[in-house]
Amino acid sequence: MPDLSTSVAAAHELLDLAQAGRDTYAGPPMLTENRVFGGLVLGQATAAANRTVPADRYLRSVHAEFLREGNPAEPIHYEVTRLRDGRTYTRRQIVARQRDQVVFTQTASYGLDQSEASHQRPAPPAPERPEDLPAAGRLDEPYAWPPWLAAQPEIDVRVAPPAGDRQDYGAIRFWYRYREPLPDDPQLHGALWLFLSDLSLLASVRLPHEHRSGSRWLASSLDHACWLHRPIRCTSWLRVDQISDRTEAGFGVATAKVFDLEGHHVSTIAQHGVLRRPRAS
């Protein structure tokens, strides 16, 4: 395997797709340890859909299914189908392929930035500032950060310590910020947020079982949903409050609410995954 500490391009560069036909795009590979990072296909599929959507439409939701692990050393091709172009919202379907095999499917919805009805339940205040928290570490930490994260200093992840028995439900708080300067393009920030949104959710599914058993469990994503309640800015701090309320028969769901520094609820995420027992040593 290549040296993962030096082989990974910046996340926003991985979202720069090549035209491969009408409404078909090729995403550059991302060298990872043994399989394609789910956030890569989420971000690239969103970037592909963005190419077919007017600039005045903002990403509102994404629903995705991970079908095969894929080869991290090969590019992925994204075929976009224009399902709807309405007056108020737009919908796209994206199919990701490697070597004629479908590895991933996604639908993405976009809408106008309308001044219509809105409300928000007040956000619970964070007890810390992200700058005061330690940066995310490596694979040996409980959250099992991927080794390639060390090669992406532009992704700043800070972790708040878990509180007491909340570990039994995988309740964790992360702060994310993208350090590289980016253009003020809501569609680019939306695709980058989908890339980042897959970094931590399954930790909430794993950690309650690791907390009880003292063993490291393996987790794989099955499907992923993300709603963007307002245009998101990844270059500012984003707080992710996540938890897993239920796991049964090895299948678990984690959900997260995402807030900006001003307390705006900017995104909601849900992920369904499967847990596997730790391999015998």
Helix runs in 4-109, H state only: 11-14, 38-50
The tokens describing 132, both together, are 């005061």
Tokens encoding 63:
């629903």
124 occurs within a structural domain: no
Cα 130 to Cα 16: distance, rounded to the nearest angstrom? 29
Which position has the token pair 């997260």? Answer: 256
**Is 2 part of a structural domain of the chain?**
no
For residue 21, being part of any structural domain is answered with yes
Q: Is residue 134 part of a domain?
A: yes
In a domain, 122, yes or no: no
Lowest-confidence segment of 159-168, 185-194, 246-255 by average pLDDT: 159-168
pLDDT over 70 at 102, yes or no: yes
The β-bridge partners of 10 are: none
- 200 lies in some domain: yes
Residue 1 domain-assigned? no
Q: Which residue has the higher pLDDT, 136 or 15?
A: 15
**Assigned domain for 60 exists:** yes
CATH number for the domain spanning 184: value is 2.40.160.210
- Tell me, what's the pLDDT at 32? 78
Mean pLDDT of 259-271: 96
Q: How confident is the model at residue 3, as a pLDDT?
A: 47
Number of domain units in the chain: 1
Amino acid occupying residue 22: R
The range of the structural domain enclosing residue 153 comes to 11-113+130-276
For residue 199, what are the β-bridge partners? none
Q: Residue 6 pLDDT more than 50?
A: no
The gap from C-alpha 17 to its chain's centroid, in whole angstroms, comes to: 18
The model's pTM? 0.92
* More confident: 208 or 67: 67
Asked whether residue 137 carries a pLDDT value surpassing 90, the answer given is no
Contact present, 202 and 273 (Cβ < 8 Å): yes
State residue 211's pLDDT score: 67
CA distance 29 to 135: 26
